[in-house]
Every structure is written in structure tokens, then in C-alpha cells.
């Protein structure tokens, strides 16, 4: 079985110029946890997940990683969770998104997809054909397809 046979073709996605506000809105509206980030040609340029956002809004006690935090530190402003939540909404998606994209081609075998998802410990992977986004496959899609029909016999 190939990727194009099990992928979800109607992909929720964001553009590289969108903000985290748009990402979070899609996460909430569609009950999802990750989105491909595409350019104007619908080419996959990054992937944004709930984990990427969680890393940003989590407390940074030991190292001040972000310019906002650095400025706040020197100005004496208290860095708190509510402030980080509000600040992140207007951050460009590309600032937090993973740019080393794990993706598969439309003709990739399901076994290779299962192996990739397991080894990389990721929840979903974008599917491309001729360099453009055509779908997405989640771990659940692979599990459902792999065991389809096997449980009905017992």
C-alpha cells in the first residue's frame, strides 16, 4: 500500500507568513496538533506542532532563549506564563516551526512510513508529489490501515 492510498488529502496547513495565532486557531477549530507550513507554491517549508509552541511558552529558568525574554529580564519585567501566551500569538510561524522537515513521497510504502513515524517519534508526516503538499498521514492512519479487516475475524 502506498502513501497516496492512505493519506488525508484535505490538509489543514498554514503559510510561511502566518502567525502562531492562525496556527493555534486551526489547532483548536480542527482538533489537531500539527500543521505543514507551505510557501506560495504549496511547497512544504516547515512543520509546526503543539510541541514547538509548548517549548516556547514553557518556563525558561536556566537559559534565556528568546530576545523578548532577554529584554524583559534586563528591564526587570517578571516573565510569566500569561505574558508568554499573549506574546507568542503574534510570532511568525517560521520562528517556531521545525525546518528540518520529515516528509514522504506519494508513492512511499506504508511499511516505510510506519518505520519513519516510529523511529522519528513523530505523530504525522506530510506527503508530497512533484515537490508540493498533497496530503498528510498520521500514526492513526497507518494503524487503521494496517489492521483493517484483521480484527473482524475474531
pLDDT at 2: 97
Using one digit for the tens of pLDDT, what is the confidence trace for 42-78?
999 999 999 999 988 886 554 445 555 555 444 444 5
79 within domain boundaries: yes
15 within domain boundaries: yes
Task: Answer for the pair 36, 115: CB distance below 8 angstroms, yes or no.
Answer: no
Prediction pTM value: 0.81
41 within domain boundaries: yes
35 within domain boundaries: yes
152 within domain boundaries: no
154 within domain boundaries: no
The enclosing domain of 143 has a CATH number of 3.10.580.10
Q: Looking at the 3D structure of the chain, how many domains does it have?
A: 1
| Helices 50-57 and 20-30, packing angle to 10 deg | 120
Residue-range definition of the domain harbouring residue 121: 3-147
Amino acid at each position: 500500500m502506498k502513501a497516496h492510498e492512505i493519506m488525508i488529502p484535505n490538509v489543514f496547513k498554514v503559510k510561511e507568513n502566518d502567525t502562531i495565532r492562525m496556527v493555534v486557531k486551526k489547532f483548536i477549530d480542527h482538533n489537531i496538533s500539527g500543521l505543514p507550513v507551505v510557501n506560495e507554491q504549496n511547497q512544504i517549508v516547515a512543520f509546526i506542532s503543539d510541541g514547538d509552541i509548548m517549548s516556547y511558552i514553557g518556563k525558561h529558568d536556566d537559559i534565556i532563549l528568546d530576545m523578548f525574554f532577554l529584554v524583559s529580564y534586563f528591564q526587570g519585567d517578571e516573565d510569566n506564563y500569561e505574558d508568554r501566551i499573549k506574546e507568542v500569538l503574534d510570532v511568525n510561524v517560521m520562528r517556531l516551526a521545525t525546518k528540518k522537515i520529515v516528509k514522504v513521497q506519494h508513492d512511499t510504502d506504508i511499511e516505510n512510513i510506519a518505520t519513519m513515524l516510529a523511529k522519528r517519534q513523530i505523530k504525522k508526516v506530510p506527503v508530497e508529489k512533484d515537490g508540493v503538499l498533497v496530503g498528510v498521514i498520521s500514526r492513526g492512519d497507518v494503524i487503521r490501515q494496517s489492521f483493517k479487516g484483521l480484527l473482524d475475524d475474531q
